[in-house]
């Protein structure tokens, strides 16, 4: 078995010549990279072009395989074969992108997200002016000849652009003033001097960075480079803005560069901000009162409800967390934005849990209504509260956990909520839409069942009426808790929709308190006012009740009147 060795640089093209003297004209020829398996053929003669590989057959003597745009992974030993036999080895060595030269050499290669240009000069280069390297996103002007003079006539410069690097090196990593927003204005680019010993720049390098979005007239542009953990402006200045589409930056060193724009935060309407604060404060107050009411009547099985109490607790914590994060969002420093993402995950869990509890309430009502058709219906047939707790909190935990495991960067560290522009938003909207659809189906089934039960009167009439009231309350609760999130799909369509969404979501607690507490006959029958008064005077024992004050006044009055009637009693008795 004979063999040959080939050596080339990254980005170049090589031809692998394989003899095929012992094969017929119609024999299939192939090349594979060791170790060769049945399905490991790199290319075959009956498929003459595949990606970066092409094959040409010249008679029966040989065939040539061409590999273009070499990559480091292309290095290795290739085997040529004809028919069922492998009989020739080709060793391919791929070295770095810098190819030694005495004059000038330019290498280009691209991928889906990266574009690279490597320019090398030698002692016999004839350049007399600044070298310009250009690609689709930027231009680089560098005095490569002066650098080569400090390196025995040899120097190389690599210029790279990264389409998606801004998702990793985010503009938020640039220190900003309070109430400002950083926006990436260019593709991230990088420049370096590979295979160059003395990397000192004799003259600054200039970058012409093309804008990827429209410039805000009120914004300030910054030429920045990546300094280990954050964007910095040290050594970089903005020379000029050629037009509305390009900006020229000058830097005294090579690194990874970008163009950032810093603008003042769009001043949210003070009216809207005030409305948000007041609305959520009112909603939180009534959610707290609802939870307190359920606790006060926990001994009454008709009033106390594990379902409603946990629903209120989840909404209370979710609304409180949302209010705090949005209220103090501007005070969260870039170094603490990881905590913002954690808060977003907790908020994701709490809201999902609230919807699960609403779903469990619908299931419980469905079971209760089905029991009405039985002559002897037992309450134990309703889903036990222990199972409700497991379902109510374990299911949301699994959804959030799986979502984070699949996509770790699904939470926006700037808004403390889910990234709405990514598919991760369906980790919330998906379960919500499913629960809303299932609840609607359950409520329709419940209403039909109730109507049939009323017609046949196979159950207790008072119990049927009570169940019907509970169903309509739950149905109204379903629309109040669910419909706002349908508006959430169009939240960017205008301030009016945003205000409606804000009012509906913030007043969910108010609605729950009114329907399940204030307007509840069970709560009224258990003297809710007396229970609250009892709690108040337990917390504030120094306050006298009206009854106590009235009784004290009557006692004093009766004493005075008795003294007037009996002269033997001297109120001013002296010793």
Instruction: Tell me how crowded residue 234 is: count the other CB atoms within 10 A of its CB.
Output: 10
Residue 130 has pLDDT above 50, yes or no: yes
Residues 331, 326: Cα–Cα separation, whole Å: 10
Q: Does domain 104-264 have CATH number 3.40.50.300?
A: no
Phi, psi of 271 (to 5 degrees): -65, -45
If you search the block for the tokens 């209220």, which residue do you land on? 327
Residue 275 has pLDDT above 80, yes or no: yes
CB-CB contact of 29 with 57 (8 Å): yes
Q: What is the mean pLDDT of residues 504-523?
A: 80
Of 30-39, 335-344, 348-357, 565-574, the poorest mean pLDDT is in 565-574
How high is the pLDDT of residue 446? 81
Q: What is the mean pLDDT of the chain?
A: 77
Residue predicted with more confidence, 85 or 78: 78
DSSP state of 218: T
pLDDT in tens, 404-459: 998 888 888 777 888 877 888 889 989 988 998 898 888 888 888 777 776 665 55
Of 34-48, 74-88, 98-112, 364-378, the poorest mean pLDDT is in 34-48
Q: What does DSSP say about strands 417-418 and 256-264: parallel, antiparallel, or unpaired?
A: unpaired
* 319 to 31, 276, 279, 346: CA distances (angstroms): 64, 11, 11, 12
How high is the pLDDT of residue 332? 57
Residue predicted with more confidence, 309 or 413: 309
Collapsed DSSP state (helix, strand, coil) of residue 10: coil
If you search the block for the tokens 């004799």, which residue do you land on? 202
The dihedral sign for the CA sequence 24, 28, 34, 36: negative
How high is the pLDDT of residue 56? 78
Q: What is the mean pLDDT of residues 467-491?
A: 68
Q: Give the DSSP H or E segment for 396.
A: helix 385-406
pLDDT band at 574 (very low <50, low <70, confident <90, very high): very low
Residues 502, 461: Cα–Cα separation, whole Å: 41
Residues 227, 233: Cα–Cα separation, whole Å: 9
Superfamily of domain 2-95: Immunoglobulins (2.60.40.10)
pLDDT in tens, 329-347: 655 555 556 788 888 999 9
CB-CB contact of 285 with 268 (8 Å): no
DSSP string covering 471-530, please? HHHHHHHHHHHHHHHHHGGGGGG-HHHHHHHHHHHHTHHHHHHIIIIIT-HHHHHTTHHH
How high is the pLDDT of residue 562? 46
Nearest to 502 by CA among 271, 238, 244: 271
pLDDT band at 488 (very low <50, low <70, confident <90, very high): low
DSSP state of 381: G
Hey, where are the domains in the chain? Answer: 2-95, 104-264, 270-526, 531-561
Q: What class, spelled out in words, does domain 270-526 have in CATH? A: mainly alpha
How high is the pLDDT of residue 325? 83
CB-CB contact of 479 with 436 (8 Å): no
pLDDT in tens, 154-201: 888 989 998 888 878 888 888 877 778 889 999 999 999 887 888 888
DSSP string covering 80-98, please? EEETTEEEEEEEEEEE-S-
Say if pTM beats, i.e. exceeds, 0.85: no
How high is the pLDDT of residue 205? 94
pLDDT band at 561 (very low <50, low <70, confident <90, very high): very low
Residues contacting residue 359 through CB under 8 Å, at least 6 positions apart: 435, 438, 439
Residue predicted with more confidence, 107 or 207: 207
How high is the pLDDT of residue 299? 57
The dihedral sign for the CA sequence 31, 33, 38, 40: negative
pLDDT band at 348 (very low <50, low <70, confident <90, very high): very high
Task: Name the range with the highest mean pLDDT among 43-57, 335-349, 527-541.
Answer: 335-349
Residues 382, 389: Cα–Cα separation, whole Å: 14
Residues 550, 544: Cα–Cα separation, whole Å: 10
pLDDT in tens, 218-273: 889 999 999 988 899 999 999 876 567 899 999 999 999 999 999 887 665 567 77
Of 220-224, 280-284, 495-499, the poorest mean pLDDT is in 495-499
Nearest to 29 by CA among 47, 50, 45: 45
Residue 116 has pLDDT above 60, yes or no: yes
């Amino acid at each position: 078995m004979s063999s040959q060795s080939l050596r080339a640089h990254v980005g170049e093209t090589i031809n692998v010549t394989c003899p095929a003297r012992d094969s017929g004209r119609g024999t299939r020829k192939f090349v594979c990279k060791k170790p060769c398996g049945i399905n490991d053929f790199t290319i075959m003669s009956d498929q003459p072009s595949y990606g970066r590989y092409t094959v040409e057959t010249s008679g029966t003597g040989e065939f040539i395989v061409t590999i273009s745009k070499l990559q480091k992974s292309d290095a290795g030993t290739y085997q040529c074969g004809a028919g069922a036999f492998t009989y020739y080895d080709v060793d391919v060595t791929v070295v770095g992108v810098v190819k030694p030269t005495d004059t000038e050499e330019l290498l280009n290669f691209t991928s889906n997200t990266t574009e690279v240009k490597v320019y090398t000069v030698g002692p016999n280069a004839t350049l007399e002016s600044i070298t310009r390297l250009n690609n689709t996103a930027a231009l680089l002007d560098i005095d490569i000849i002066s650098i080569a003079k400090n390196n025995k006539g040899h120097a190389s410069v690599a210029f790279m652009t990264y389409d998606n690097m801004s998702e990793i090196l985010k503009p938020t990593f640039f220190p900003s003033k309070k109430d400002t927003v950083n926006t990436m204005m260019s593709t991230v680019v990088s420049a370096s001097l590979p295979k160059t010993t003395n990397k000192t720049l004799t003259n600054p390098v200039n970058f012409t960075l093309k804008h990827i979005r429209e410039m805000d007239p009120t914004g300030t542009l910054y030429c920045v480079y990546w300094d280990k953990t954050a964007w910095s402006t040290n050594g970089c200045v903005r020379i000029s803005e050629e037009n509305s589409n390009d900006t020229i930056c000058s830097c005294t060193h090579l690194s990874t560069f970008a163009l950032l724009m810093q603008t003042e935060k769009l001043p949210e309407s003070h009216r809207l901000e005030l409305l948000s604060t007041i609305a959520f404060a009112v909603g939180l107050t009534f959610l707290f009162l609802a939870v307190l009411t359920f606790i006060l009547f926990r001994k009454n099985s008709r009033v106390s409800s594990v379902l409603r109490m946990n629903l209120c607790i989840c909404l209370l914590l979710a609304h409180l967390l949302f209010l705090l994060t949005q209220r103090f969002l501007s005070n969260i420093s870039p170094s603490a934005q990881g905590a913002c993402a954690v808060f977003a995950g907790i908020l994701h869990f709490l809201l999902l849990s609230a919807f699960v509890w609403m779903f469990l309430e619908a299931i419980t009502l469905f079971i209760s209504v089905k029991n009405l058709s039985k002559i002897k219906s037992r309450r134990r047939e309703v889903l036990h509260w222990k199972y409700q707790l497991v379902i109510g909190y374990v299911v949301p935990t699994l959804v959030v956990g799986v979502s984070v495991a699949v996509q770790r960067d699904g939470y926006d560290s700037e808004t403390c909520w889910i990234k709405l522009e990514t598919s991760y938003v369906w980790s919330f909207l998906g379960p919500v839409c499913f629960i809303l659809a299932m609840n609607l189906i359950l409520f329709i089934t419940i209403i039909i069942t109730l109507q049939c039960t009323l017609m046949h009167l196979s159950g207790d009439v008072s119990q049927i009426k009570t169940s019907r009231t509970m169903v309509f309350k739950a149905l109204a609760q379903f629309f109040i808790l669910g419909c706002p999130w349908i508006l959430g799909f169009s939240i960017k369509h205008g301030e009016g929709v945003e205000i409606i969404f804000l009012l509906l979501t913030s007043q969910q607690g108010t609605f729950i308190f009114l329907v399940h507490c204030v307007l509840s006959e069970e709560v009224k029958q258990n003297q809710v006012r007396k229970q609250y008064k009892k709690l108040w005077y337990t917390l504030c024992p120094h306050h006298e009740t009206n009854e106590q004050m009235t009784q004290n006044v009557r006692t004093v009055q009766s004493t005075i009147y008795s003294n007037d009637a009996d002269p033997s009693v001297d109120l001013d008795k002296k010793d």
